[in-house]
Amino acid sequence: MRRPRHRVRSPKELAEAYFHEELSPAERERLTSSLREDAGLVRRFAEVARDEIMLFELHRAAEGAFDRASQGVETPCWATRRQGRRRSGLVLWAATVAACVLVGLVGFRLGGAAARERRGEAFPVPWAGRSSPSVPSGSQVSRCDSCSDGGRT
Amino acid sequence: MDSDELLRLFFAERPALEAYLLAATRDYHLTEDLLQEVAIVLVRKAEEYDTSRPFGPWARGIARRELASYLRARADEAAVLDPETLEVCAPAFETVWLGEHTEARKAALAECVETVSDGGRKVLELRYHERLSCPEIARALGRTVQAVYGILKRVKNALRECVEARLGEARP
């Protein structure tokens, strides 16, 4: 709603607009001189100031209630929860990775063993494919004297 | 005068001082800051207070000096109303709070704000909660400043009528 530029506002209108509008220097001057002469206008101006303060207080009270609620219950709670979530997320991630590696290794070994079993191969031993365990050259191998074949097999 | 008595007098006078400072600055944030300064000076000068004289004018004198020192420091922000006019208004700032059922008025206002349309509520929140100026509200809403002036005027008039009606109903 555009205010017509030519319309001269009454002192009462100026008093009511004073707290939120930018008055022109001429309007300010007219309000000032009217306030000095008109006790009724002064009363109205004081009421406008009171209503203005009450509106600010009302909204501040609402803001205070919101802050109290957020400080007393929500903020620390969700801050803690968020930290907790972050920490448990890391633990979960590490545990998942470890579990995947473990399952992968076991699956690989079991799969390999099953395949060898199907092919009729012996259970894999580290020296599988060789004729006998490798013995480092020059090392002493004790004979099994109690064995029937003298420990040859 | 002991500090308890001084604080009791200060809190009784506070609304009138607040209105005085708001009329001088038109800035609620600044008004709050100045009011705190006034409270500090009042406590510091408690010994100087002549208890045979009314507290209001003495406290207002301190508020006026705090205001003047602020305005000197911020020469770019002139008070809109001159000190003489503010002095003319000062007794009325007191009387509108005295003899007034302040709590009943606040309760009525809180109820009346609930009845304001969504558009009006948005402007009220930006003005009194976010403490934006009308040009800032206009930018935020994509409206003209004159449109925001018009909305505020209508909403305030509606609130005043609503509050008076509710207080009228409550009166015997």
pLDDT at A109: 76
B30 and A CB contact within 8 Å: no
CB contact under 8 A, A21 and B81: no
Which residues contact residue B81 at a Cβ distance below 8 angstroms, ignoring those fewer than 6 apart? A28, A31, A32, A35, B23, B24, B89
Instruction: Answer positive or negative: Cα dihedral of B143, B159, B36, B25.
Output: positive
pLDDT at A146: 53
What element of type H or E holds A55? Answer: helix A39-69
Q: What percent of chain B shows pLDDT beyond 90?
A: 56
| Residue B78: pLDDT band with limits 50, 70, 90 | low
Tokens standing for A24? Answer: 């022109």
Q: What is the pLDDT along chain A (153 residues), one digit of tens a residue?
A: 555 556 789 999 999 999 999 888 889 999 999 999 999 999 999 999 999 999 999 988 876 665 555 555 443 333 333 344 445 555 666 777 777 777 777 777 777 777 767 776 655 555 455 544 454 544 444 455 555 555 444
Interatomic CA distance for residues B91 and B85, integer angstroms: 11
pLDDT at A91: 62
From the list A1, A49, A54, which residue is nearest B150 (CB)?
A: A1
Whether the pLDDT of residue B32 is over 50: the answer is yes
**Between residues 99 and 128 of chain B, which touch chain A (CB distance below 8 Å)?**
100, 105-106, 109-110, 113, 124-125, 127-128
- In this predicted model, what pLDDT tens digit does every residue of B88-97 receive, in sequence order? 999 999 888 8
Q: Write out chain A residues lying below 8 Å of B152, CB-based.
A: 20
From the list B97, B125, B134, which residue is nearest A21 (CB)?
A: B134
CB contact under 8 A, A45 and B125: no
Task: Look at residues B37, B18, B168, B16 and name the one whose alpha carbon lies nearest to residue B105.
Answer: B168
Could you please report the per-residue DSSP string of B11-56? HHHHHHHHHHHHHHH--HHHHHHHHHHHHHHHHHTGGG--TTS-HH
pLDDT at B115: 95
The ipTM assigned to this model is: 0.88
CB contact under 8 A, B84 and A59: no
**Average pLDDT for residues B28-46, to the nearest whole number?**
91
Q: Which of B14, B21, B32, B85 is most worth mutating to test chain A (most A CB atoms within 10 A of its CB)?
A: B85
Q: A62: nearest CA in chain B?
A: B129
CB contact under 8 A, B93 and A49: yes
What residue spans of chain A are helical by DSSP H? 11-17, 25-37, 39-69, 75-118
pLDDT at A74: 42
- In this predicted model, what pLDDT tens digit does every residue of B98-118 receive, in sequence order? 766 788 999 999 999 999 999
Helix then strand then coil, % of chain A, to nearest 5:
65, 0, 35
Q: Write out chain B residues lying below 8 Å of A36, CB-based.
A: 84-85, 88
Q: Write out chain A residues lying below 8 Å of B134, CB-based.
A: 20-22
- The DSSP secondary-structure symbol of A4 reads P
Interatomic CA distance for residues B41 and B33, integer angstroms: 13
Question: Count of CB atoms within 10 A of residue B124's CB?
Answer: 21
Please answer whether residues B129 and A59 qualify as being in contact, where contact means their C-beta atoms are separated by less than 8 angstroms. Answer: yes
pLDDT at A81: 39
| Residue B3: pLDDT band with limits 50, 70, 90 | confident
CB contact under 8 A, B88 and A20: no
Q: Write out chain A residues lying below 8 Å of B116, CB-based.
A: none
- In this predicted model, what pLDDT tens digit does every residue of B114-167 receive, in sequence order? 999 999 999 999 999 999 999 999 999 999 999 999 999 999 999 999 999 999
